[in-house]
Amino acid sequence: MANEIKAILHNHPHFYGPCKIDSETNMPEWSAGEWMYSLYNQAPNIRGIIEYSFKKNIDILTLSGCQAHKRDVDKSIQNYFNQLSALKKDFEIEYHLDEGFANLFKRSSGKKMVLISGCEIRTDHQGRTADINVIGIHPGTYIEPGENIDETVKKAKDLGALVTVCHPNSANGCGIDKAFGLYNKGLVHGIEGFNAMASETENEELGEALKEKGMKILAVPDSHHYTDVNIAYSIFPKELLENFSREKLIENVQQKNFEGILNQLSFSRRFKTHLLPMGLSVPMNLIKNPRYFIKFLKSSIFPKKDEPKIYN
Ligand SMILES: [Zn+2]
């Protein structure tokens, strides 16, 4: 690994969920799912996340927010970036917030890590929920979810971010054909080829399809707890870290200067950090906002795959 660096491009340090910041206390108000999750998973702060990632020799760490609901804005990443100043004693911090990242240098060793602000956005592809990943966006910038996938990726690219299609053949994915369509038209820079949270079958099917097209496997953990972040990642040449910029990251992805390290997250971890809190949050969300939530569940469970969406 001497000339290579480890990059995490899709990772939720905590259970994702829209979270508002309380204007008086400046603390996040957690959603039902996050509250349930916190009953049996330790909630991290930025120090815990950064220190763990340094320990695991991660060089580029993306913190991914999640814009799945039109109703609420996920401000967790903005909140993490705001907490960074508390680490000044142990880390020298160089902010490049307009490019959506900060360079962190550990004072005791001089070791560098790039912390990227990212966001997974749930778009619409012909009535089907389709997630995309925006990597390197100002932590305070919000892209509206639920809009047409082509329009959303254009918006994200115009902001200068690295834009990829998330887990195209999983639930909340746009489908493999659409992912290739977006890639071939130059609307996205890359396609996630391996997602540690997806099933083995999904990853195999996707890997085959990408290989057939001569594409490389961009691997991401997409984990939902900061201690699962090191499971799957992509390695890039060391030069990328030395003079990191968003443009250089995009260039490396486009020139296929990376290799995917593929490890599936165990079912028990996926269950504990994702499936269970999602399931537990259903009754609470139903009580809080029944009409909105039933509509959301319907579109996630029964995606209208081929019919175009009708607008009145
Ligand atoms: Zn994700």
The DSSP result for 153-199, as a single string, is HHHHHHTT-EEEE--TTSTT---HHHHHHHHHTTSSSEEEEEETTS-
Determine whether 160 is exposed, middle or buried from the number of CB atoms within 10 Å of its CB (0-12, 13-18, 19+): middle
- Residues at Cβ < 5 Å from ligand 1 ion: 120, 222
Please tell me the distance between residue 274's alpha carbon and the centre of ligand 1 in angstroms: 10
Please tell me the distance between residue 11's alpha carbon and the centre of ligand 1 in angstroms: 6
What is the separation, in whole angstroms, between the first and last Cα of the chain?
55
Please tell me the distance between residue 205's alpha carbon and the centre of ligand 1 in angstroms: 19
pLDDT of residue 311: 36
pLDDT of residue 310: 36
Architecture of domain 4-301: Alpha-Beta Barrel (3.20)
Please tell me the distance between residue 222's alpha carbon and the centre of ligand 1 in angstroms: 5
Please tell me the distance between residue 273's alpha carbon and the centre of ligand 1 in angstroms: 12
pLDDT of residue 300: 62
Low-confidence ranges of the chain (pLDDT < 70): 1, 15-34, 36, 70-71, 281, 283-293, 295-297, 299-312
Please tell me the distance between residue 219's alpha carbon and the centre of ligand 1 in angstroms: 12
Please tell me the distance between residue 237's alpha carbon and the centre of ligand 1 in angstroms: 25
Please tell me the distance between residue 236's alpha carbon and the centre of ligand 1 in angstroms: 21
Q: Where are the beta strands (DSSP E) in the chain?
A: 4-8, 20-21, 28-29, 60-67, 91-96, 101-106, 112-125, 128-135, 162-165, 190-195, 218-220, 233-237, 259-261
pLDDT of residue 268: 87
